[in-house]
Amino acid sequence: MSVQRRLNVGSFLVLLLFVVLLAVQFVAGPRLRTQYDGDIARADRAAAANDQVLQRMTDAETGVRGFQLTGDPAFLEPYEEGWTGALAGLDEIANNGFAPQVEQLLGREREAVRAWLDGYALPIVTAGVPDNDGARAVEGKRLFDEIRMVGEVLDRVLAAERRNLIAAELSERRLLDLFSAGLVAAILLVSYAVARTARRQLLVPLGDLGRTIRSLAGGNLATRAEPGGAAELRTVVQAVNDLAAQTETLLAAEQARAARAGLRQAVAAEMQEMTDPTACAHRIAELIGAAVCAGAVHCEMVFPGTGTVHVAWPSDARGLAAGLTAEMLAGKPGQLRVRPDGSIWLAIGGDDCAPGYLYAVRPSAPVWTEAEQRLLAGVGREIERAVRQLTVQHQQARLITELRMLDQRKDVFIQTVTHELRTPLTSILGYAEMIADDEGELTAIQQRALDAILRNSHRLHDTIGDLVLLDRPDRGAALHTETLDLADVARMVRGELGNAAGAKNLTVTVDADEGWVRGDRTQLQRALSRLLDNAIKFTPAGGSVECRVTADARTVAVAVTDTGIGIPAEDVRGLFTPFHRAGNAVDQAVQGPGLGLAIVRDIVRDHGGTITVQSVVGRGSTFTVTLPAASASAPVLPPVVVPAEPKSPAHV
């Protein structure tokens, strides 16, 4: 096979492999990603719809339970919206289409929803009056537990389906990447073979021929040849020398073009991998000089945290005049100017980074082409982008340091304030209680004043205790966990708050099944106490409060429902933020610092649980705490260390 044919075949193979690589990367790859993105989105929609079904059915069950408790038909509004939303969620899952196992579970969940509606909720709603049939209540609870159980199984199956889709996508993407890597390797090998063939078959023989002819021209053959033959020989030698010079010029131009093609990427890589700003700037100047064949390159940049860095390449290059440096630094970022002496400079910088410049001089070729000017402008933009990113990172690091210092100062401030308040407050309480215990007679005005002092002192003492709980410097300390029944804790809290409820003529009931969890008894008792205390505090006289404990194989839920003033929708988002108080609570002058639910949220989070709220202004609120379930016979484990997490928002 001739050299030309081999070169043609090699070039065709390179082109063909490159086209195949483009097809894989820009056709097959995006199509595969689009397909899997659609499958993942379909699985996510189904999982969200399944969550909606359980949430809507919980709303419906809460509405029926509120109607049973109060007899107020207004509580049935969540019921109407709940069961219709649940059926819509089931239809959404069915429309996405899944494996037969999902379809079977979906049918069971739909049957369970219908059974609860027809067997429990619909007779009560149709009758229009609360139903005191205990057997029906037990059957309703069983039917609702069936809905919850099937929903959880379906949720696990959908999660498994999603994981399978992700695993399949990763496998196919890995195969696609391996195939692409193989194509790149093949392109490099064929290109190397073509270049090697061209060099071995063309450049090397051509150089040998030139050297041979020059040798002949300078030897005895030239002296023995005819005058006309010597002239012809010299002409051949000159032609060969010219051809060799042109070949070398073409090779140098090709090398420079390759260097220019990768200049922006090389500069960007140097900036990203920078460890020493001075060495990085020197390397960038060297890359620019090699790419544009410059005689000298000067570069000045300002790096955040380091300051101004000025380098010159080569190291013995002449310095710049002060006037020229000032002119470049005063230039508009991105401004590029060609000087008559064959030099070119570019101003770099911007609004969010200090000014700098790139300067190159090329006496051998003072004319700078449009392509070279665009190349330098692109390099300047890469440097500006990298310096801007470094500036942002430096500012972020400084801001994080300042925030940490502020957090430490806040901790010290709260600790100091609580200590300085607690010491005199202890004396105030002690002497006030001594006066109250004194058998001497006090006038009515003095007794009222003493009662006010005691009442507000205890209130301030409780607030200081809340601050200490919220600002625990030992967050992440061990919880003294044990296996306990939340139903017993709820009944104990109900007994402690009986006097407060009786003072407002409130009906407080506890409907509690066994609910075994792993946790700190003192902390969980404090959380339930604050939830019930809030319900009593925000419920007008004559209202009712219910605490309900339910459990399944995975979770234990405690729902505290009241018929109080409710929470405005705009206040729900900040409900668990310390010191946050709902607008209607402020308007009605309900006392409290706004710390109770923030403490509840911290306790629940430390136990690996969640807390949610549903509320209607003027009709009441329901706070639901969900904790991981534990077997009643679970062995006693060592204390659990709970890692610190950012605090989250709360209602008081």
Q: Quick one: which of 357, 267, 361, 352 has its CA closest to 314?
A: 361
| CA–CA distance, 622 with 541 (Å, rounded to integer) | 18
- Note the pLDDT of residue 143: 84
| CA–CA distance, 40 with 28 (Å, rounded to integer) | 18
Q: Quick one: which of 513, 511, 516 has its CA closest to 485?
A: 516
Query: Residues, the chain, total?
Result: 652
Q: Furthest-apart CA pair in the chain: how many Å?
A: 150
pTM over 0.75: no
| CA–CA distance, 578 with 597 (Å, rounded to integer) | 8
Can you tell me whether residue 311 is helix, strand or coil? strand
| CA–CA distance, 650 with 632 (Å, rounded to integer) | 32
Residues 6+ positions from 465 with CB-CB distance below 8 Å: none
- Which H or E element spans position 568? none
CB hemisphere CA count around 195 (13 angstroms): 9
What b-and-e string marks burial along 258-270, b requiring 16 or more CB atoms within 10 Å of the CB?
ebbeebbebbbeb
| CA–CA distance, 90 with 105 (Å, rounded to integer) | 11
| CA–CA distance, 610 with 628 (Å, rounded to integer) | 10
Mind listing the pLDDT tens digit for each residue in 105-130?
A: 888 888 888 888 888 888 888 877 87
Residue by residue, DSSP assigns 574-635 as: TTTSTT---HHHHHTT----S-HHHHHHHHHHHTT-EEEEEEETTTEEEEEEEEEB--TTPP
Structure tokens at 369: 């082409």
Q: Quick one: which of 47, 35, 144 has its CA closest to 93?
A: 47
Q: Which residues of the chain have pLDDT under 70?
A: 1-4, 7, 96-99, 199, 201-261, 350-352, 419, 439-440, 459, 462, 465-479, 578-594, 631-652
- Note the pLDDT of residue 150: 84
The count of other CB atoms within 10 Å of the CB of residue 251 is: 12
- Note the pLDDT of residue 560: 93
| CA–CA distance, 147 with 93 (Å, rounded to integer) | 15
Burial of 280 (0-12, 13-18, 19+ CB in 10 A): buried
Can you tell me whether residue 298 is helix, strand or coil? strand
Q: Are 586 and 609 in contact (CB under 8 A)?
A: no
Sole residue written with tokens 């706004």: 594
Mind listing the pLDDT tens digit for each residue in 603-647?
A: 898 889 999 988 888 888 999 999 999 864 444 444 443 333 333
Structure tokens at 587: 């308007």
Strands (E), 304-394: 307-313, 336-338, 343-350, 353-361
Q: What sign does the dihedral 499-500-501-505 (CA atoms) show?
A: positive
CB hemisphere CA count around 114 (13 angstroms): 7
Sole residue written with tokens 């056709």: 27
Kindly report whether the peptide bond that precedes residue 314 is cis, defined as omega within 30 degrees of 0.
yes
Angle at alpha carbon of residue 469, lines to 464 and 475, rounded to 5°? 145
- Note the pLDDT of residue 228: 52
For helices 444-470 and 370-437, angle between their N-to-C axes, nearest 10 degrees: 150
Cα 55 to Cα 49, 58, 149, 614: the distances in Å are 10, 5, 13, 11
Structure tokens at 44: 């996510």
CA 563 to chain centre: 39
- Note the pLDDT of residue 232: 59
**DSSP-based helix, strand, coil % in the chain, nearest 5:** 65, 15, 20
Strands (E), 441-534: 478-479, 482-485, 507-512, 516-519
Structure tokens at 10: 């090699």
